[in-house]
Amino acid sequence: MKVYTKQQLALRNGQDKPEIWIAYRGIIYEVTHSRLWKSGKHYEHWAGQDLTEELLDAPHSEKVFERFSPIGRLE
């Protein structure tokens, strides 16, 4: 699996590049086509970053990431 830096992840925030990515537990997921991540925002969460700590406050479990394709690892 390809390795990406936090800077590369940050560019996939729905604003700077057409891709929308998020990271969880060191894995980067492609969420570009998810209706829940339009424009890089999902409720109070922003794409282009590691959401591992933010999941603690989410109303769902980590199983939600099974819906998305892992595309790389966060360096």
Residues 6+ apart with CB under 8 A from 18: 32
**pLDDT score for 13:** 96
pLDDT at 57 over 80: no
Of the pLDDT bands very low, low, confident and very high (cuts 50, 70, 90), residue 59 is low
C-alpha to C-alpha distance for 64 and 66, rounded to whole angstroms: 5
**pLDDT score for 54:** 79
CATH number at residue 44: 3.10.120.10
Residue 66 structural domain:
3-74
C-alpha to C-alpha distance for 62 and 55, rounded to whole angstroms: 7
Tokens of 69: 């394709």
Tokens of 64: 């939600």
pLDDT in tens, 10-53: 999 999 899 999 999 999 999 999 998 988 988 888 999 999 99
Structural domains in the chain (count): 1
